[in-house]
């Protein structure tokens, strides 16, 4: 959501920044509705004052015994009441239309974000090296099925496409990955672990920007409940409607949850394997901080997510997403892309985004800095996507016989087992 005052002050800048998101100019429509809304509010105030004044006079005139004049004033007050009701309804309709437009406009890109489509994404880091193999490499789904530890057929019989059943040591490996990530982020990086609901109401999703524009990407249940697409939703909403003291910032939360996405726009993409599932697990990082510390916190979050891959000895790169490739609520996003030798491609394993005060305005999440009250800055990132980390380990640590070596850092979580075969 946006500060309407800033749009009034510089509508041209607002439209120019929106154009970087490939969004049509909309400031004129916004300001026309804004003017209409303010005019209606002004009329309401004038008529309310007139009604209050005449209501007061009715009592005074009645005491003087002037029933005829009192009756006339009562008719006028009644008419004003009807007018107030009409104007109030009109004002609410205009305010609703204005809010609806504002709620569907993406965040404006930070000045450091490259402008353009996906081709303008900029690689800023390349960490580690690709491993050399002397045998033909397999993708994770072939490895998993040959080990008897991944079944897409059984999952399909139960739930349909884009689900998997994992078994045995592969299932334990995925659990170990999540536990390792949680330990790293809590013990080394100071994040507070939080167990959150996986069912949330629409107002929580509105706060993070998932609603109203992206309802088709969500799984809706009953009674206004939705399954979470990421733990970012409940974690960010922990401060909804609150005012924090700047001395208590930053707030850093981590949570391991299942995530649910309809993948409405993913027809034909990643139809095999677990790269793009309706249900998957993720370790999510969320930071809430002040405007002054926002950019530093973004860099810190990125380094925390990177450390997972470094400890797993996985080759990866970091990319700054372009203005058209960022998510709706982000003003700047770093993508971490891990190398998958089976696919012969870099694939996203984490997105770390700084949303500025965009989400906080929608959630009314604020902090007090001396005598001033300001909106929090919210940041979120995968630390990491657990299933995609499993894919990366399977493909990078595979052996010629189809077995999978367990990274050293995960062996204590696997009863010191070194290989899955």
Q: So which residues are the catalytic ones? A: 261, 276, 348, 351, 388
Sign of CA dihedral 55, 56, 59, 65: negative
The rounded distance, in Å, linking the Cα atoms of 421 and 11 is: 62
| Local structure of 280: helix, strand or coil | strand
33 and 98 Cβ atoms separated by less than 8 Å = yes
Nearest residue to 236 (alpha-carbon basis) of 126, 353, 158, 130? 353
**Tokens at 320, concatenated:** 């700054």
Sign of CA dihedral 198, 201, 202, 206: negative
The rounded distance, in Å, linking the Cα atoms of 225 and 209 is: 16
**Tokens at 227, concatenated:** 């399954």
Torsion of CA 58, 62, 63, 64, to 10 degrees: 110
The conformation of residue 121, written as its DSSP 8-state character, comes to -
**Tokens at 283, concatenated:** 């370790």
Cis preceding-peptide flag for 408 (omega within 30 of 0) = no
Please list, residue by residue across 247-284, b when 16 or more beta carbons sit within 10 angstroms of its beta carbon and e when fewer do.
eebbbbbbbbbebbbbeeeeeeeeeebbbbbbbbbbbb
Chain-centre distance for alpha carbon 230 = 8
E strands present in 82-180:
122-127, 150-151, 165-166
The rounded distance, in Å, linking the Cα atoms of 419 and 406 is: 5
> How large is the C-alpha radius of gyration of the chain?
27
**Tokens at 32, concatenated:** 């026309």
List alpha helices for 237-293, DSSP H: none
Nearest residue to 319 (alpha-carbon basis) of 341, 335, 339, 307? 335
**Tokens at 299, concatenated:** 């860099």
Name beta bridge partners: 419.
Answer: 405
């Amino acid at each position: 959501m946006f500060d309407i005052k800033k749009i009034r002050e510089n509508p041209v800048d607002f439209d120019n920044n929106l154009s970087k998101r490939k969004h049509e100019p909309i400031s004129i429509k916004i300001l026309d509705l804004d003017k209409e809304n303010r005019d209606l509010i002004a009329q309401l105030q004038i008529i309310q004052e007139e009604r209050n004044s005449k209501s007061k006079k009715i009592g005074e005139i009645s005491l003087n015994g002037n029933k005829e004049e009192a009756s006339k004033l009562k008719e006028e007050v009644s008419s004003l009441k009807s007018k107030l009701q009409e104007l109030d309804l009109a004002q609410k309709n205009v305010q609703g239309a204005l809010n609806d437009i504002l709620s569907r406009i993406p965040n404006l890109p930070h000045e450091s974000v490259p402008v353009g489509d996906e081709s303008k994404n900029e690689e800023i880091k390349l960490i580690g090296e690709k491993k050399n193999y002397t045998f033909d490499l397999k993708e994770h789904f072939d490895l998993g099925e040959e080990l008897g530890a991944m079944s897409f057929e059984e999952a399909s019989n139960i739930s349909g496409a884009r689900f998997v059943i994992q078994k045995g040591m592969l299932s334990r490996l995925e659990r170990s990955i999540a536990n390792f990530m949680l330990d790293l982020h809590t013990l080394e990086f100071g994040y507070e672990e939080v167990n959150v609901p996986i069912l949330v109401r629409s107002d929580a999703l509105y706060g993070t920007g998932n609603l109203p524009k992206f309802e088709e990407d969500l799984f809706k249940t009953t009674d206004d409940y939705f399954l979470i697409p990421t733990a970012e939703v409940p974690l960010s909403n922990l401060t909804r409607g609150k005012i924090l003291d700047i001395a208590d910032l930053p707030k850093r939360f981590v949570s391991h949850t299942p995530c649910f996405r309809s993948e409405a726009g993913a027809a034909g993409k990643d139809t095999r394997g677990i790269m793009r599932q309706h249900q998957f697990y993720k370790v999510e990082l969320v930071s809430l901080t002040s405007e002054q510390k926002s950019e530093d916190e973004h860099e810190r979050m990125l380094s925390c997510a990177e450390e997972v891959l470094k400890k797993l000895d996985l080759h990866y790169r970091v990319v700054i997403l372009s203005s058209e490739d960022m998510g709706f609520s982000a003003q700047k996003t770093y993508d971490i892309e891990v190398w998958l030798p089976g696919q012969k491609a870099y694939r996203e394993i984490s997105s770390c985004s700084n949303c500025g005060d965009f989400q906080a305005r929608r959630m009314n999440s604020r902090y007090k800095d001396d005598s001033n009250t300001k909106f929090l800055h919210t940041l979120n990132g995968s630390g990491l996507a657990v299933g995609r980390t499993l894919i990366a380990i399977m493909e990078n640590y595979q052996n010629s016989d189809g077995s999978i070596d367990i990274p050293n850092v995960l062996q204590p979580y696997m009863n010191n087992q070194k290989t899955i075969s």
